[in-house]
Structure 1
Amino acid sequence: MARGRPRQFEVDEVLQAALNVFWAKGYDGTTMADLTEATGLKPGSVYAAFGSKAGLFKQVVDRYVATVFSYGPNGLEADSVREVVHRWLTGAAESTTGEATPAGCLLVQGALATGGESREIAEDLCARRKAAQVMLAERLAAAKANGELSADVDPRVAARYVVALAEGIAVEAASGADRETLLSLVDLAMRRLPWEA
């Protein structure tokens, strides 16, 4: 039985190249020509490897969550709620202002700029952002259970607050704010968190 030709490319390299394009232009704004130019693959190879533009995008978002957004899960390991929030917001400021990456956040901008036929893409991005919020809320609930967070604080509301700040940081970055400016916003937010007495 004849075997198909082996892939002649590194999947990680292709995903990273595609990530940078989708991040800069959004899902709807990215054309197959953009992807073939960035990855060096012909359209047929993209379809053969990933099934469709949407299939490629899904794997790109998986990569983004595992790499760029790793500051979220890593931040949850901090010993205190203050440090969890600090790491989350600092991670947002740093990841949205990388020297070698587009400004802003793929999950935020992608969800805002995607519509029409791409509604399913936007819904997936929103679901991923909500999953991050749930993850943070669970960490804050654990802090509440051990007495670190006041009994009158709803961990879900506190998590939504932190995520809203992080998403605002991403929007500011996409609008041209530099890292120093965004880190100064983080410093201001950290002077006193709303639930601190």
Structure 2
Amino acid sequence: MAITTRGRPRSFDRDDALDAAARLFWERGYEGTSVRDLTERLGVEAPSIYRAFGDKRRLFEEAVCEYDRRYGGFIDIALAEESTAFAVARRLLTEGPERYTRDGLPRGCLVVSGDAGTTNAEVAQYLSGLRAGNVERLAERIRRDVASGALPDEVDPTALARFTLTALNGLADGAREGVPVEELRAVGRVALRAWPGGPAID
């Protein structure tokens, strides 16, 4: 539904605009995306963007939420659907290469690379907070498995979670740089081998 301002319809659909902005930030990052880039991609003038979203930073944060809703949510899905921490890690590290190289979409992950090179402390804090939250949620699942005996007592849940998500972020960065998907899959297998009970490298 079109949004109205002072009784007049805006010249763009807000949801479509957020999707377009999310893809643009995904391609170029926050710092590499100018307001002019946004006006050209969204097909509207800057005042319309400001009225709809406020400033560029607030648009970026909304775009990240839209990205997560439409294209991301990968870690949330794995945590919700898999019964053990190892199964979560296996799913992330084996499916990640395909997710980060989907046809018709930018390569990589907006949450991983969207703040690259930014000088905006609020943007950097926002995305680093999301990444830290992912580490903590995986660490909590690992703690449960240690408590139940599914993982050895000597496992450091935070270190293992951070290692796993650092590897996953590396897959996203590699995809963004054009690393072939088969090589990304091989990297995922190497990382998974570090887990207690992980598979041999094939």
Structure 1 length-normalised TM? 0.89
Q: 1:91 to 1:127 in 2, by over 3 A?
A: farther
SS in 1 for 2:7: coil
- TM alignment of 1:1-197, pairs within 5 A: 3-76=6-79, 77-115=81-119, 118-190=120-192, 192-196=193-197
Q: CA-atom RMSD, angstroms? A: 1.9
Q: 1:30 to 1:187 in 2, by over 3 A?
A: same
Query: Are the aligned partners of 1:111 and 1:123 in contact in 2 as well (CA < 8 Å)?
Result: no
State the 1:91 CA deviation.
4.0
Structure 2 length-normalised TM? 0.87
SS in 1 for 2:69: helix
In the aligned structure 2, how far is the partner of 1:7 from the partner of 1:178?
42
In the aligned structure 2, how far is the partner of 1:111 from the partner of 1:3?
35
Runs of 4+ in 1 over 4 A off after TM superposition: none
Q: In structure 2, list runs of 5 or more residues that go unmatched.
A: none
Deviates more, 1:144-153 or 1:83-92: 83-92
> When the two structures are aligned, how many residues end up with a matched partner?
193
State the 1:95 CA deviation.
2.6
In the aligned structure 2, how far is the partner of 1:149 from the partner of 1:51?
47
Bigger helix fraction: 1
Q: Which amino acid aligns with 1:172?
A: G
Q: In structure 1, list runs of 5 or more residues that go unmatched.
A: none
Residues 139-184 of structure 1, C-alpha deviations (whole Å, 9 max, x = no match): 1111112111111101111100101101111121121113232122
In the aligned structure 1, how far is the partner of 2:48 from the partner of 2:113?
27
Work out the percentage of aligned pairs sharing the same amino acid.
36
